[in-house]
Amino acid sequence: MTSLPRSTALPWWRLAPFALVGGVTLSLAFAPTALWPLAPVAVALLGETTVRARGKRAGLALGALFGLGLLVPGIIWQLTLTAQAYGGLVAVELRREHERQHRHGVT
């Protein structure tokens, strides 16, 4: 990948919001929203921000911010889903145990 001449490149901190928004946009392409047409837009945003960065370290930092923007919404969704699933499993098991005790006359 080629980078822009140093005179037209931007500092990483000016591109950081675009990298974060790109990561969040890519997370919207996956479950539960499944807005899959946003995936190419997000990847293009990542490419554009890294090309416009000043140097390889800035590109690496922007890629990491993009990854963070992708990772955090996914983790939040998984934690929510896991909490609901385990809550449902606990309710089912408590109900089964109550029915088992009721059948055997244990109170």
d(CA 103, CA 5): 79
d(CA 28, CA 41): 11
For residue range 63-96, what is the model confidence (pLDDT) as tens digits? 999 999 999 998 998 888 888 888 888 888 999 9
Q: What is the pLDDT of residue 8?
A: 78
Q: What is the pLDDT of residue 31?
A: 82
Q: Tell whether the model's pLDDT for residue 1 goes beyond 60.
A: no
For residue range 9-41, what is the model confidence (pLDDT) as tens digits? 899 999 999 999 999 999 999 988 989 999 999
Shortest CA distance to 18 belongs to which of 48, 39, 40?
A: 48
